[in-house]
């Protein structure tokens, strides 16, 4: 499906983003993880665009977005995405984050619940029981072992666009952030997804995240690891659409 590549600027930040046209009454905003970029969501975005507009940015310093002067904290990244949504989104907003992206979208949902009506956390990080760079790196290697060539190729391609220093700074900020402390204050209906074979985000940890959210559903993505959104758009895209439809129906029934 056709999409347009655009640029969003705010202060010291410049983000390249893709817009997939769809019905204007809903916008899906998709936020990638560390070392990745908007390309990892491309196929998922194509499916979601059947139900709404889709906006997929490269966070500053990743993909095709240049590095700003200093590495943005998770909270500062959340503020940037808040401004992006305020200026560019239409209709109801579904906010989706993957890996590091879950930390950003959770912060946004906590501080600005009025902006979104549904939230999706795919592979939430960082597992508080393994909060170290070496452990996280080992888990990622373990997760990628035996992955499909498509996942490996796209992952390597995106990582080469990120400078080692920028990556190291963002990883430090990820390790400092504690999503488990944010979740109890997130009132937005939330879908929590975990790849069935994800070694980076073990089941007990992701269930802990889901349990900490006041209004959540927990589901596993069959036969998928940490990079579940790259391997194929399904079943993730359908799981997101079905969740949004269920919550919209529930809201309508309450009126």
Q: How many structural domains comprise the chain?
A: 1
pTM across the whole model: 0.91
Query: Distance between CA atoms of 142 and 144, rounded to whole angstroms?
Result: 6
Q: Is 43 helix (H, G, I), strand (E, B) or coil?
A: helix
pLDDT in tens, 103-130: 999 999 999 999 999 999 999 999 988 7
**Phi, psi (deg, nearest 5) at residue 189:** -55, 130
* CATH code of 183's domain: 3.40.50.1820
Tell me the per-residue pLDDT of 15-45, one tens digit each, with 9 for 90 and over. Answer: 999 999 999 999 999 999 988 899 999 999 9
**Residue 191 domain boundaries:** 3-254
Ranges of residues in the chain whose predicted pLDDT is under 50: 145, 152-153
């Amino acid at each position: 499906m056709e999409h347009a590549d655009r640029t969003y600027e705010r202060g010291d930040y410049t983000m390249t983003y893709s817009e997939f046209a769809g019905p204007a009454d809903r916008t899906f905003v998709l936020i990638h993880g560390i070392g990745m970029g908007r390309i990892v969501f491309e196929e998922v975005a194509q499916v979601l665009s059947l139900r709404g507009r889709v906006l997929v940015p490269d966070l500053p310093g990743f993909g095709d977005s240049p590095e700003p002067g200093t590495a943005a904290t998770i909270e500062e990244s959340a503020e940037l995405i808040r401004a992006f949504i305020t200026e560019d989104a239409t209709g109801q907003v579904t906010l989706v984050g993957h890996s590091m992206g879950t930390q950003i979208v959770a912060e946004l949902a906590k501080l600005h619940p009025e902006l979104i009506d549904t939230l999706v956390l795919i592979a939430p990080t960082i597992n508080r029981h393994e909060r170290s760079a070496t452990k996280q790196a080992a888990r990622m290697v373990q997760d990628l072992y035996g992955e499909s060539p498509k996942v490996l190729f796209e992952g390597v391609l995106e990582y080469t666009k990120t400078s080692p220093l920028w990556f190291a700074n963002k990883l430090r900020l990820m390790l400092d952030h504690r999503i488990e402390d944010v979740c109890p204050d997130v009132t937005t209906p939330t879908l929590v997804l975990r790849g069935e074979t994800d070694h980076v985000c073990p089941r007990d940890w992701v269930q802990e995240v889901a349990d900490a959210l006041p209004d959540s559903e927990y589901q596993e993505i069959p036969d998928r690891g940490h990079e579940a959104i790259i391997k194929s758009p399904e079943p993730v895209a359908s799981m997101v659409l079905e969740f949004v439809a269920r919550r919209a129906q529930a809201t309508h029934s309450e009126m």
